[in-house]
Structure 1
Amino acid sequence: SAGGAMMFLPKFDVEKVIAVMRDCTTMMGVPTFYTRLLDHRKFDASLTKHMRLFISGSAPMLSETHVLFEERTGHKVLERYGMTETNMSTSNPFVGERRAGSVGFPLPGVALKIVDPDTGEPVQKGDIGVIEVRGPNVFNGYWNMPEKTAEELRSDGFFITGDLARMDEDGYVTIVGRGKDLIISGGFNIYPKELEMILDDQVGVLESAVIAVPHADMGEATLAILVRRESGPDINQIKALMKRDVARFKHPRDYIVVDELPRNTMGKVQKNVMRETYGSWFSSSTI
C-alpha cells in the first residue's frame, strides 16, 4: 500500500508555494501558476530537483512556458484535459513524449472523437471539430435539468464537450478553443487560438486573447487584446506580419494593449468579461 499528504493553500501565493515545495513531490496547477513561478528569482533547478511531476490543466499552456520551464528546472510539465462533466479525459504520457501545446491521448477506457458540430460525424485527422467523450468518467446528466442533459449527452453515451480540437496522425489531441469562442466574420470561421499562437510569439507580447466583437458590416469582427511585455509590442510590425502570413479574413480588425487579462480564481482567461468590456468597440468605428 501507499499513501501521501496533500497541501492546500487558500490562494496562489508564489512565496508560499516556493516555501512548501521542498516538502512536496508533485504539483498540480493552471498555466498562470507556472508563469508566476518562472518570474521568481528563487525558482530554479535546486528547488525542484526532488520533484517527481508537475501537472498543468484547466487552460492551455503556451509552448514558450513549456520550454522555459524545462530549461529552468529540467522537468517537462505534463499537460492534460478534463472538465466537471467528464473528470479527466486525456493526458500526455507519464512515460513517453510530452508534446508542448497538446493534451495528449484519451485515457484508458475513454473513447474520444472529434466531430463536425453540424453533422456529428467524425472529421479527418488534423481537421478541427468538437470533442465528444464516452466512458466511465462521464457523468449521468445534469441534476434536475433533463432538457440540458438531452442537448449535451447523446443516447449512445457520448458527451458533447463544446471544446474545439484537432487530433494529429499520432493521436495527440490539441485544444484550439471553446465553440462559443469561435468567430464568424463575414461568413468565415476564425479560430482565436490560431491567431493567439502567432501573437504570443511576437516581441513585446506576454500573452494575448482574440475575441469576437459585434460589427455592423461583418456581423462579428476580430479584436486582439495584447498583454504588454516590457516596453510593449510594435502594432505596425504585427500588422505587417499578419498581412504576409495570414489569410486576410482572419486579420484582427483592431488591437488593444493592456497590462493583464481578466481571469477567474482558477486562472482561466475570462473572454466573456472582455466581450462585455469591448462589446461596443466597433459600434462607431469605420475600421
Structure 2
Amino acid sequence: MSNLYSILEANFPADRSACAIESRGAGEPLFYSWADLHHGSGRIANLLAALNLPAGSRLAAQVDKSVEALMLYLACLRAGIVYVPLNTAYRKAEVEYFIGDAKPAVVVCTPANFSWVGKAAFCGGAEVVYTLGDDRGGTLLDRAAHHADDFVTVDRADADLAVLLYTSGTTGRSKGAMLSHGNMASNALALRSLWGWHLAPDGTPAERDTLLHALPLFHIHGLFVAAHGALIAGAKQIFLPRLDPAAILDLLPRCTVMMGVPTYYVRLLAEPGLTPERCAGMRLFVSGSAPLLKETFELWRERTGHVILERYGMSETVMNTSNPYDGDPALRKPGTVGPAIPGVGVRVVDGRTDQPLPAGEIGDIQISGPNVFGGYWQMPDKTAESFTADGWFRTGDVGRLDDDGYLSIVGRSKDLIITGGYNVYPKEIESFIDEMPGVAESAVIGVPHADFGEAVVAVVVPRPDAVVDEAALIAALKAGIANYKVPKRVFTVDELPRNTMGKVQKNLLRERFGAGAD
C-alpha cells in the first residue's frame, strides 16, 4: 500500500496513548494523543466517504491552523480525496479563482468566512461546504461526530494525486502543482534519515524528538516538511498558531527541533532572552522558504551556539537540497542550500540548450527524482514547457553548483535583469549591498529604461538609526563590481514587501519604483 497516511502511521509510536501534539492557543494547552489523531482523522474520513464522491474529487480548505485542520488533511489522504490547501490570507477574488480552477466537490472554511466563501463555493459547483474553527467548532466536526472513528485507509499507488498545491502567485497567475502520494512519501522518508529524526523502535517518548511548530499549515514548509517530518518519526509536536517570539523562547527548552522562515530567526534575535542556555536542548534549527542573510546566520551562531541548517525546496518538488545535519556544523555553508538530498538530482544548465554547466558557473537549476510533481493542474502546455526532453524539471531558479556539490541560489530567472545586453543576477548585487554599513537588507530589481532596455535599481532597508546615502552606496559599488551591475538608483524603504512565507514580492517593488531609473 502506497497511501501516504499508511506510511506515516506505520511510524507512529507503539504507545498510541502518548502525546502527539500539544496545541498552544489563547487558552489552556490542549493535548492530542496518537490515537486521537488516528481516530479523529478516521471520523472525518468516514464523513467524506459517505458523500460517495467520484475518484479524484478535491476538497479545498481555507482554515486557521489547528490540530483538527491537520486531521482534515490526514482524513483526505486516508479517504483518497485530493487536498487543496488555501492560504488564509486569500480574499474573495482569489478564493473564487482557486475554486473555479480546482472545482472542489467539498470546501471547508472558517465559520467567520462562511457567508462569502460558501457563496463562492456553491457558485463554483461545490456540493458541500463545511466550517472549521480553530476552537474545535464548526459543522465539519459536528457532522463527523456522528460517524465511526474506525476507517480502513484506502489503497493508493505512488502516482495517485494526493495534493493540489497552488503556487504563491507573486509574479503571475497561480498554478496548481499536482503532488502524488509517492512524491511526498519519498521526501519524508529521505529527510527522516538526512536530518536525524530520532527513532525509537520501542516507541519510548523520551527517546523521540519534539518539534516546535510555528509555521502555517497551508504551505509545503509547515505541512509537508515540518508536520510530515514529525509524523513519520513518531515525534511530538508543539503547535503555536503563529509566530510569537516570546512563546517560542518559553518553549525552546522543551523542544529539540524548530523550523522557520528567515523572519522567525530575525525576530528571535531581537529578543534579549535568546541565549545558549535557552537553546541547550535543541539539536536542529532549519530555515527555508526564503534566503537567509549571512548576517542572520552568523548572529544566530554567536547568540545560541547553533548553526542554522538551510535547505531548498519548492511547491512542485517539496525538498531538493539540504546542508548536512551530521558531522561538523561548519559543513553548513552560509549562503548555500547544500547538496542534493538522497534520490534527488540537481543540475545547473545553460537555459538555451539544457546542457550542464561547469562547476561555479551560473545557470538555470533543474531537478529530477521521485519528489518531482506530475505537472500543473489543467495546464498541459505549461507542464510541457516546464520539463526538458530528458525529463528534468525547469525550476525557474538560477544558481551555481560548487565543486563539492553545494548549490547556491542566485535568484529567479524571471528576475534576471538584462541591461545593455549584459545579464545581471539580483542576488549577486544584493550580497554586496547587504554587507555595506547601515544596510539591513536589500532587493535589486530591473525596471524599464529607454537606453539600456532595463536598468538596475536597488531598494534598501536601513538599519535602525542609520541613514543610507544613495551616492555613497553607488560609489562604493562602482569600486567593487562591474559598472553595468551598479544600480542607477537606490531607494530606501522601512521594510520590503513579503508574502506569508517571507519571500520578497519584487513585482510590487517594480510597480512602485518602475519609473524611477531614467
Range into which the TM-score falls when normalised by the shorter chain: over 0.9
How is 1:167-182 mapped onto 2 (pairs within 5 angstroms)?
167-182=401-416
1:263 to 491, 498, 508: 498
How is 1:30-109 mapped onto 2 (pairs within 5 angstroms)?
30-96=261-327, 97-109=331-343
**Residue 143 of structure 1, CA deviation:** 1.8
TM score, norm. by length of structure 2: 0.53
Question: Which residue of structure 2 lines up, in the alignment, with residue 253 of structure 1?
Answer: 488
**Bigger shift: residues 3-12 or 81-90:** 3-12
1:202 and 1:233 in contact (8 A); partners too: no
Other structure's SS at 1:81 match: strand
1:162 aligns with 2:422: no
**Residue 202 of structure 1, CA deviation:** 0.7
**Bigger shift: residues 237-246 or 113-122:** 237-246
Following the alignment from structure 2 to structure 1, what is the Cα–Cα distance between the partners of residues 396 and 369? 17
Percentage identity across aligned positions? 53
Amino acid corresponding to residue 194 of structure 1 in structure 2: E
Question: Which residue of structure 2 lines up, in the alignment, with residue 9 of structure 1?
Answer: 240
**Residue 154 of structure 1, CA deviation:** 2.8
1:141 and 1:153 in contact (8 A); partners too: no
Following the alignment from structure 1 to structure 2, what is the Cα–Cα distance between the partners of residues 159 and 171? 19
2:427 to 148, 168, 193: 193
**Bigger shift: residues 235-244 or 112-121:** 235-244
Amino acid corresponding to residue 81 of structure 1 in structure 2: Y
Considering fraction of residues, name the structure with more helix: 2
Following the alignment from structure 1 to structure 2, what is the Cα–Cα distance between the partners of residues 238 and 280? 20
Following the alignment from structure 1 to structure 2, what is the Cα–Cα distance between the partners of residues 116 and 55? 31
2:354 and 2:388 in contact (8 A); partners too: no
Question: Which residue of structure 2 lines up, in the alignment, with residue 149 of structure 1?
Answer: 383
**Bigger shift: residues 221-230 or 22-31:** 22-31
Q: Which runs of 4+ in 1 moved over 3 A?
A: none
- Residues 11-35 of structure 1: per-residue CA shift (max 9 Å, x gap): 2122222223233211111111111
**Residue 267 of structure 1, CA deviation:** 1.2
Following the alignment from structure 1 to structure 2, what is the Cα–Cα distance between the partners of residues 183 and 276? 15
Other structure's SS at 1:161 match: strand
How many correspondences in the alignment? Answer: 283
Following the alignment from structure 2 to structure 1, what is the Cα–Cα distance between the partners of residues 244 and 498? 16
Question: Which residue of structure 2 lines up, in the alignment, with residue 139 of structure 1?
Answer: 373
Following the alignment from structure 2 to structure 1, what is the Cα–Cα distance between the partners of residues 290 and 343? 24
Following the alignment from structure 2 to structure 1, what is the Cα–Cα distance between the partners of residues 379 and 357? 30
Amino acid corresponding to residue 184 of structure 1 in structure 2: I
Amino acid corresponding to residue 234 of structure 1 in structure 2: D
What CA RMSD, in Å, does the superposition of the two structures yield over aligned residues?
Answer: 1.3
Gapped regions of structure 1 (runs ≥ 5): none
Amino acid corresponding to residue 500 of structure 2 in structure 1: T
**Residue 121 of structure 1, CA deviation:** 0.7
Following the alignment from structure 1 to structure 2, what is the Cα–Cα distance between the partners of residues 17 and 180? 36
**Residue 45 of structure 1, CA deviation:** 1.1
1:204 and 1:234 in contact (8 A); partners too: no
**Residue 155 of structure 1, CA deviation:** 4.2
Question: Which residue of structure 2 lines up, in the alignment, with residue 274 of structure 1?
Answer: 509
1:243 aligns with 2:447: no
2:254 and 2:281 in contact (8 A); partners too: no
Following the alignment from structure 1 to structure 2, what is the Cα–Cα distance between the partners of residues 177 and 144? 27
